[in-house]
Amino acid sequence: MSLWELFILAVGLSMDAFAVSVCKGLSVRELKTKHAVCVGLYFGGFQALMPLLGFFLGVQFQSLIQEFDHWIAFALLTLIGLSMIRESRGEADSLDDSFSPRAMLPLAVATSIDALAVGVTFAFLRVQILPAVTFIGVVTCALSAVGIRIGHAFGAKYKSGAELLGGVVLILIGVKILLEHLGVLDAVFFLFA
C-alpha cells in the first residue's frame, strides 16, 4: 500500500471522528485548546489502536482465508463505507459538552470500530502495521482537532457531508483492492500504456 493510498484511507476512516468532533464543537460554549487536544488524542488514539487489534486478529486467520482475502477486504470496506453513507443521511446526533472519560470513551470506540475491520484487511494485504496505524492515528488526531474548531465556528452543516465522503472513499479503496487482485487494473493499465 502506497503512502498516498494510506493517506486516503486514513482520511476516510477519520470522517466519523471528524463528524463527531464537529458536533462536539457545537456543544461547547467556550472552546479551549484543551478541548481540541482531548478530542484529537481520544479519537486518534483509538483510530490507531483498533486497526492494530484487527491486524493481529487477521494474522491469526490469514492462512485459512488467503485464497479469498481480497474479497473479504472488498466486502469489509464496502460495508463500512455503506454504513457511513447511511449515517450521513440520518439525523444529527446530540452531544453533551463533557470531555470526561465517561463521555469521550464511548465516542472514541464508536468512531473507530470500522478501523478494526480495516486492520483485518491490513493483515491480508501484508501492510507494515506500526507505521500504518501511527499514520492513521496522527491523521485522525489532526482532523478531529480541526473538526471541533469547525463545529464551534460553523455548525453542523458539514457533518453529513464528511460522513458521506468518508463512506465513498472506503468503498472506492475496496473496489481498487478487488480489481487489483483480480488483475483488472493491470489489464487496464496495459491497454493504455
What tens digit of pLDDT does each residue of 41-79 get?
999 999 999 999 999 988 887 667 667 767 876 787 687
Instruction: Report helix, strand or coil for 94.
Output: coil
b/e sequence 102-121, b meaning 16+ C-beta within 10 Å: ebbeebbeebbebbbbbbbb
What is the rounded average pLDDT of the residues 95-112? 81
Measured CA to CA, the distance from residue 30 to residue 9 in angstroms comes to: 32
Structure pTM? 0.69
Residue with cell 493510498: 5
**In the predicted structure, residue 93 carries a pLDDT above the cut 60:** no
